[in-house]
Amino acid sequence: MRILFLSEAISPHIARWQKAFTELGWETLLASCDYTDGFNGHRLSPKAAAGGPQRYLSIVDQVEKLASDFQPHLINAHFLPTYGLTAAMANIHPLALTLWGSDILLSAQKGFLQRWRSRFVLRRSDLVVADAQCALDVAKAIASIQRQLVVSFGVSRVWYESGLVRELKESNTLQILSCRKFEPLYDVQTLIKAARLLRDDGFNFHLTLVGSGSLESNLRTLAHSQGIADRITYTGALGDEQLFNAYRRSDIYVSTALSDTTSVSLLEAMSQKLYPIVTDIPGNREWLTSDRYFFKSGDVADLAGKIKLGASRQAREEAYSNYQPLLVQKGIRDDQMRIADLTFRKVIDEYPRR
């Protein structure tokens, strides 16, 4: 079976999808106009300037030519307003559209044109894949969907199995970890302000911020103004091994994201037995069941209070017992990719050939 992926090649998500399908026996090809110098897939060349739908409309003819040459049994386009639009305009079938979260929760209904584009792409898709039910629910409110699948991007089995044998210990200095980008959507400033409250209450902690983004300078300035700069480590973006070690050194994982579907970083934290504290939004509710893990978005005092609840080893052990069954059921990447593999093959088998 041959599968043509359309996606931004700079994302680790698509790299994991392609690797999984290759290991499952598919002949894979990734085509992209968003890549680094080392990209060895098919390089698409937009005729329009970067940004906006024109960029992705301008590569439709290139995708049509590539599909004619490669003859894929299925095309899998990732992210609705960009490569999803390209694939829908190329009208190559069967088409599996993979939603990433913000493409359906935030940008799909911003205006008439965005809603029309979303409806057009969804209606032309033979299968719509999402990493959370809440994303599919929004999609189904926009357009009738022929076929649907929920699979998480997941955490690797190796990470999960390493977490199984991790022994949790009491921490003299509570290690708090955030792995969200320094962008407005992720509201990291709320965590920094909550850290100030923890310090004022005499709480012993250290905060590690993994990531980068346009607000990094603002966040550093805020930390200095709050008097907690000495309690924060900024790591920048980390590779898999470094990121794994960051989780292993930590006790509590915090996500301040204002919108999300299934956060891979949440699953990674869960795999290493961290105590999760996340915003009370539908995507997070699909993974955690107790109110003690949720805080109201932007509520600094609520977040600080929830962090205190996770300070003990016993709290972290109880949290892991609570969320571990769901992690096993729908959060292991290898299993999720096998489900996607079987579904894609069924779509191919059942698609009417002319």
pLDDT of residue 108: 67
More confidently predicted of 105 and 92: 92
Amino acid symbol at 295 = F
Domain ranges, residue 7: 2-154+333-350
Note whether 326 and 337 are same-domain residues. no
Note whether 162 and 192 are same-domain residues. yes
pLDDT confidence tier of residue 306, bands split at 50, 70 and 90: very high
pLDDT tens per residue, range 116-163 = 999 999 999 999 999 999 999 999 999 999 899 999 999 999 999 999
Provide the b/e sequence for 50-82 (b: ≥16 CB within 10 Å): eeebebbebbbebbeebbeeeebbbbbbbbbbb
Note whether 130 and 273 are same-domain residues. no
What's the total number of domains in the chain?
Answer: 2
* Among candidate residues 104, 92, 174, the one with its CA nearest the CA of residue 135: 104
Q: How far is CA 247 from CA 112, 124, 135, 231, in A?
A: 42, 41, 27, 17
Helix (H) / strand (E) element for 6: namely strand 2-6
CB-based contacts of 240, cutoff 8 Å, min separation 6: none
Note whether 109 and 142 are same-domain residues. yes
Do you know the residue count of the chain? Answer: 354
Note whether 63 and 193 are same-domain residues. no
Note whether 261 and 171 are same-domain residues. yes
Note whether 325 and 208 are same-domain residues. yes
Note whether 167 and 315 are same-domain residues. yes
pLDDT reading at 326 higher than 60: yes
Residue holding tokens 């590690």? 208
> What is the reported pTM?
0.94
* Region for residue 222 given its phi and psi (left: phi exceeds 0; alpha: psi -120 to 50; beta: otherwise): alpha
Note whether 208 and 124 are same-domain residues. no
Distance CA 165, CA 49 (A): 50
Mean pLDDT (whole number) for 236-259: 97
CB 24 within 8 A of CB 341: yes
Note whether 269 and 342 are same-domain residues. no
Distance CA 197, CA 147 (A): 48
Distance CA 190, CA 135 (A): 25
Helix (H) / strand (E) element for 208: namely strand 205-210
As a whole number of Å, the CA-based R_g of the chain is 21
Please give the torsion angle defined by the CA atoms of residues 37, 44, 143 and 110, in that order, rounded to the nearest 10 degrees. 60
Note whether 117 and 227 are same-domain residues. no
Cis status of the peptide bond prior to 276, with omega within 30 of 0? no
pLDDT of residue 112: 80
pLDDT reading at 354 higher than 60: no
Note whether 224 and 323 are same-domain residues. yes
CATH code assigned at 117: 3.40.50.2000
